């Protein structure tokens, strides 16, 4: 798959250079059988090979939902999507984090009305484009865990993660003397008590930044730069501190509770919204792809292979349910209402029909 200027035909080049043996994975542990059936059809269209992919035995043969939802306009689209999400959260054993809204590009333009509609139902959703790198960073995660521990005694998961991190930073392993581990935990407990006191008197963003700097120093700046390659340049570490401070303070200003602020920053109670590219490597119970339209795939004729791969990525993020929406009218990022079509990307719709497991649901009046 070609992304962001990646080398074409990389696998054949690798096999030639290293005389490697090609082995294909034939088990899909993520997706339900009906979704895998669609993935097989799209995969065959991309590479011309037919692979008998097996599904995990936890699924029943008829598990999995994939539907095309057709709307007159994006207002109707937002209403139905919001109603559906509300019903799923109320009636099914899933949380907001189990749902993902994906768009090909211009995420804010495609999801604006949906986000507003969800907010009216007290359901949070956010564009994670600017937060993904921050929240996946190991040092940032460690800092946030330490903040939780300093404000909440009932956080066993965070305690284990932080202790394991400190053991790694100090070069301890399973063979290290128990006394060293006990000393480490006692020192950490003392530090957390000190932090709690500081948080109780923190009233502005500058004070929060001072606390985060203290945590960095406690972890050890030179140790961080030695273990994590991205921080060999201290400028990157300082940027992390600034980004974490700004985003955490923004959340705290709304909830006025440090533990809750960290949870909100992590998006524990929010539905993530992102581009296809940002969704790579992630998985969700339910994926809603907004705008399977020519307008989103405007360059399809020039890069069919790449867009086919992008389509496959969007579909394969879903474990149980995948929804694709089409709106006859849609407002673009320049606030112009445009009529949409699916003539240019009819291949996508033909492949979905070919799978014989995709239902098309028309919410249109005509």
Distance CA 314, CA 262 (A): 29
Q: Is 21 part of any domain?
A: no
pLDDT of residue 101: 98
- Is residue 212 over pLDDT 80? yes
Q: Is 5 part of any domain?
A: no
How many independent structural domains does the chain possess? 2
Least confident of 167-181, 196-210, 227-241, 265-279: 167-181
The domain spanning residue 96 has which CATH number?
A: 3.40.50.300
If asked whether residues 164 and 234 sit together in one domain, one would say yes
- Is residue 309 over pLDDT 60? yes
Share of the chain above pLDDT 90, in %: 70
If asked whether residues 83 and 105 sit together in one domain, one would say yes
Average pLDDT over residues 296-312: 90
DSSP E strands in the chain: the ranges are 27-28, 54-55, 65-73, 99-103, 124-127, 270-275, 284-290, 318-331, 337-339, 359-362
Q: Is 14 part of any domain?
A: no
The confidence band for 281, taking pLDDT boundaries of 50, 70 and 90, is: confident
Q: Is 238 part of any domain?
A: yes
pLDDT of residue 1: 47
Share of the chain above pLDDT 70, in %: 96
If asked whether residues 138 and 252 sit together in one domain, one would say yes
Mean pLDDT of the chain: 91
The confidence band for 55, taking pLDDT boundaries of 50, 70 and 90, is: confident
Q: 182-209 burial, b for 16+ CB within 10 Å, e for fewer?
A: eebeeebeebbeebbeebeebeeeeebb
| Residue, of 19 and 139, whose pLDDT is higher | 139
- Maximum separation of any 2 CA atoms in the chain, in Å: 75
Average pLDDT over residues 221-247: 93
Q: Which of 266, 287, 317 is the last residue of a domain?
A: 266
If asked whether residues 188 and 71 sit together in one domain, one would say no
Average pLDDT over residues 138-143: 95
Average pLDDT over residues 13-36: 80
Distance CA 123, CA 96 (A): 8
Burial of 31 (0-12, 13-18, 19+ CB in 10 A): buried
CA angle, 91 then 128 then 225, to 5° = 125
pLDDT of residue 178: 86
Terminus-to-terminus CA distance in the chain, angstroms?
39
Neighbouring residues of 334: CB distance < 8 A, sequence distance ≥ 6? none
pLDDT of residue 44: 86
If asked whether residues 72 and 139 sit together in one domain, one would say no
If asked whether residues 143 and 244 sit together in one domain, one would say yes
Q: Is 119 part of any domain?
A: yes
* Tokens read off for 94: 């899933």
| Residue, of 153 and 17, whose pLDDT is higher | 17
Domain region containing 87: 29-124+269-363
Q: Are strands 318-331 and 337-339 parallel, antiparallel or unpaired?
A: antiparallel
Among the listed residues 218, 230, 216, 224, the one whose alpha carbon sits nearest the alpha carbon of residue 168? 224
Q: Is 297 part of any domain?
A: yes
Among the listed residues 338, 355, 344, 330, the one whose alpha carbon sits nearest the alpha carbon of residue 70? 330
Q: Which of 231, 246, 266 is the last residue of a domain?
A: 266
Distance CA 55, CA 320 (A): 12
pLDDT of residue 13: 84
Q: Which of 245, 266, 287 is the last residue of a domain?
A: 266
The per-residue DSSP string of 155-210 comes to -HHHHHHHHHHHHHHTT--TTS-HHHHHHHHHHHHHHHHHHHHHHHT--SHHHHHH
If asked whether residues 225 and 171 sit together in one domain, one would say yes
If asked whether residues 257 and 164 sit together in one domain, one would say yes
Average pLDDT over residues 8-20: 80
pLDDT of residue 4: 52
């Amino acid at each position: 798959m070609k992304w962001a200027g990646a080398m074409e035909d990389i696998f054949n080049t690798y096999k030639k250079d290293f005389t490697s043996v090609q082995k294909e994975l034939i088990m899909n542990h993520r997706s339900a059988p009906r979704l895998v059936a669609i993935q097989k059809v799209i995969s065959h269209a991309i590479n011309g090979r037919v692979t008998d992919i097996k599904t995990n035995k936890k699924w029943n043969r008829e598990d999995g939902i994939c539907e095309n939802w057709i709307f007159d306009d994006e207002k109707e689209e937002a209403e139905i999507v919001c109603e559906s999400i509300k019903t799923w959260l109320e009636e099914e054993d899933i949380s907001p984090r189990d749902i993902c809204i994906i768009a090909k590009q211009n995420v804010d333009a495609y999801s604006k009305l949906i986000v507003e509609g969800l907010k009216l139902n007290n359901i949070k959703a956010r564009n994670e484009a600017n937060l993904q790198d921050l929240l996946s960073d190991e040092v940032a995660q460690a800092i946030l865990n330490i903040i939780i521990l300093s404000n909440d005694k009932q956080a066993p998961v965070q305690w284990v993660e932080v202790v394991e991190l400190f053991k790694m930073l100090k070069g301890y392993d399973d063979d290290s003397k128990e006394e060293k581990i006990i000393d480490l935990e006692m020192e950490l407990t003392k530090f957390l008590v000190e932090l709690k006191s500081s948080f109780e008197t923190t009233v502005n963003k500058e004070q929060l930044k001072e606390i985060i700097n203290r945590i960095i120093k406690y972890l050890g700046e030179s140790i961080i730069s030695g273990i994590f390659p991205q921080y060999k340049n201290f400028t990157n570490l300082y940027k992390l501190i600034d980004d974490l401070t700004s985003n955490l303070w923004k959340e705290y200003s709304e909830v006025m509770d440090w533990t809750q602020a960290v949870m909100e920053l992590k998006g524990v109670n929010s539905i993530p919204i992102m581009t296809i590219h940002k969704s790579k490597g992630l998985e969700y119970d339910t994926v809603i792809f907004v705008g399977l339209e020519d307008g989103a795939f405007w360059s399809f004729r020039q890069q069919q292979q790449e867009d086919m791969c992008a389509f496959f990525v969007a579909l394969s993020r879903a474990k149980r349910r995948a929804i694709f929406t089409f709106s006859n009218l849609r407002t673009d990022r320049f606030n112009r209402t445009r009529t949409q079509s699916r003539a240019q990307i009819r291949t996508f719709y033909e492949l979905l029909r070919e799978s014989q497991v995709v239902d098309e649901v028309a919410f249109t009046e005509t």
